A and B are shown apart, each in its own frame.
Chain A
Amino acid sequence: MPEILALLIAPDWVRSLTGERPPNVFWAEYIVWPLIQIVIVLFVVLTVVAYLVYFERKISAFIQARLGPMRVGPWGILQPAADGLKLLLKEDIIPIKADKLVFSIAPIISVVSTLVVLAVIPWGAAWATIANVNIGLLFVLAVSSVSVLGLVLAGWSSNSKYSLLGALRSSAQMVSYEVGMGLSIIGALIFARTLSLSGIVEAQRADGLPYFLFQPLGFLIYLISALGETNRAPFDLPEAESELVAGYHTEYSGFRWALFFMAEYTAMLVTSAVAVTVFLGGWYFPGLDWIKSNWGPNIYVLLSVAAFAGKIAVLIYAYMWFRWTWPRYRYDQLMELGWKWLIPAGLANVVLTGVWYVLALPEAQGGVFGFVKQTAGRYVPTGYGKIYFILTGFIITIPLSWALLATINRRSRDFNLHDQRQLQIKLRSERIKRNEPVAE
């Protein structure tokens, strides 16, 4: 009996809320409370994901001079529930020639790898951060890189050409854009000096400015790569319905298809959450400290969660706005953008940011200007330092990287996919003229 009671004893962070200090109990600490947290986060996030689909439909409708879903409930707000029910009750079709085992686990890999990331996202101040892992950012990148596997396996196991082409496209695309995404974050890490997501938020709080001001190029690269990484328009090639029907999930139906859909929207949420954490100051906003001291810790935490959600909402709205406004890139153009612009720009950003940072250090540490002062164990830019970093970021880093890339890309004809293709076409037409077999 005492063991069962012990299950309900709250861990440290709940005790800090209520002010009690009962003994540390293993089950409560490691099993029960984590489970409760997991259930809460999954429930909230999956509901939000279902409503993201609703908002996507509503926003697209308003952009397109329509009304969107209106029938299920007032303003169609029960539409996600109806959709979910419909997908659950649909027949689960597995093609006869499909590899049944792989076909069934592919959507699970896809959705699990995106959901696991939710554990380390700092949703808000204090207890609203579930797990503060010291390699948080790396964890996010690591786990989300596994989701590619789900798409590849889905495309392969369907045993359909459209699916396979879609899977090939998506995996090549995601692997490429992951690199750009990883590189774009490094600049911000130079300022934060930690990989912990909460640590990055705290660093921006201490520095007084969100990092997109210091890292405009990095933020830009991140936003573009995130669109590519989550397969959203204008990079939604894997699902290009006009060419490949539905890409890797062509053969899927019912709830398995819904899992892919869920994975896509959760990935959108996660990449936005990371963007908010790293570049937009996370859950912090100016005046939050005043609220904490005047309105109490609970309102402080709730407001921080609200700020985080608000910032994510802005980014997701932008995602949807892009999707319903722009045409779609072609596969080779997308690869060209990823490899010839985003990745080199990311590298240039890392190098230039490093140079600016070292120059800003005090003379004792090899710097010149001394714009970065060590206070309370952290390196914090001074007032001049902030202006210095913003100016270097906007006025030097962006134009310099652009000029560099434009020069390189103009010169490297050999690596120009378009010219390569033209060359192949030329060779092929010459072969046709000489009546030789066309394929190499």
Chain B
Amino acid sequence: MEKALFIIFAVVSVAAALNILLQRNPLYSALSLVGTLIALSALYVMLRAQFIAAIQIVVYAGAIMVLFVFVIMLLNAPKEAPYIEKHKALRFLAIPFAGLLIAEAFYVIRLVKPIQMPASDDSAQAVGTTLSVGTKLFTDYLLPFEVTSVLILMAIVGAMVLARRGED
């Protein structure tokens, strides 16, 4: 059962990810990205990381992608040829980079040992729940957590400063 679900969602996520690259219309790419994110969150659920799965949808699919779509709508997709077609030489760089990426992927796959899926008893299920994530976040990782929140606050303040600059 788990294998079947894994295959379904893996195929969906990879296909959607490919579609992001293949689409000419940026809005369709963005929609494919939503598909990828949802398929990935299903994979998270299968790894018993329900909290991460839900947050993935709330933050990425629900908030950030809406923002993406907004921006695409407002800028309405430039009609001129993309950057890559103006500079044809860059195209030949793609092959070595792709080779590098594939080599990297192989290396990682060979290096990482397959982990045992946690058994479906309660203690293992607790790994990905809100309780365990919260406990870790507010004890072991408190400093990174706070630093990140300060960083985001800075970004918000920066955005407000930039947005209000024209009104002087």
Q: Is the CB of B34 within 8 A of A149?
A: yes
Q: Is the CB of A145 within 8 A of B58?
A: yes
- Tell whether A156 is near chain B: CB-to-CB under 8 Å: yes
Nearest CB of B to A139, in Å: 6
Q: Is the CB of A440 within 8 A of B62?
A: no
- Tell whether B151 is near chain A: CB-to-CB under 8 Å: no
- Tell whether B152 is near chain A: CB-to-CB under 8 Å: no
Q: Is the CB of B50 within 8 A of A146?
A: no
Residue of A nearest to B160 (CB): A415
Q: Is the CB of A135 within 8 A of B66?
A: no
Nearest CB of B to A165, in Å: 12
Q: Is the CB of B51 within 8 A of A135?
A: yes
Most buried by A among B1, B130, B166: B130
- Tell whether B27 is near chain A: CB-to-CB under 8 Å: yes
Q: Is the CB of A145 within 8 A of B34?
A: no
Complex formed: what's the CA distance from A130 to B73 in Å?
39
Per a CB cutoff under 8 Å, which of A99, A139, A171, A423 touches B54? A139
- Tell whether A322 is near chain B: CB-to-CB under 8 Å: no
Q: Is the CB of B51 within 8 A of A138?
A: yes
Complex formed: what's the CA distance from A156 to B28 in Å?
13
Most buried by B among A142, A146, A171, A423: A142
- List of A residues within 8 angstroms of B50 by Cβ: 133-135, 138
- Tell whether A148 is near chain B: CB-to-CB under 8 Å: yes
- Tell whether A358 is near chain B: CB-to-CB under 8 Å: no
Complex formed: what's the CA distance from A143 to B38 in Å?
10
Nearest CB of A to B3, in Å: 12
Interface residues of B in 22-64 (CB under 8 A from A): 27-28, 31, 34, 38, 50-51, 53-55, 57-58, 61-63
Per a CB cutoff under 8 Å, which of A26, A142, A168 touches B62? A142
9 additional A-B pairs beyond A135-B129, A149-B69, A152-B70, beta carbons within 8 Å, are A138-B51, A138-B130, A141-B58, A142-B55, A146-B34, A146-B62, A152-B73, A171-B70, A175-B63
Contact residues of B with A, CB < 8 Å?
1, 27-28, 31, 34, 38, 50-51, 53-55, 57-58, 61-63, 65-66, 69-70, 73, 125, 129-130, 166-167
A-B contact pairs, 23 of them (CB 8 A): A30-B1, A133-B50, A134-B130, A135-B51, A135-B53, A138-B54, A138-B130, A141-B54, A142-B54, A142-B58, A142-B61, A143-B57, A145-B62, A146-B57, A146-B61, A146-B62, A149-B34, A149-B61, A156-B69, A164-B73, A175-B63, A175-B66, A440-B166
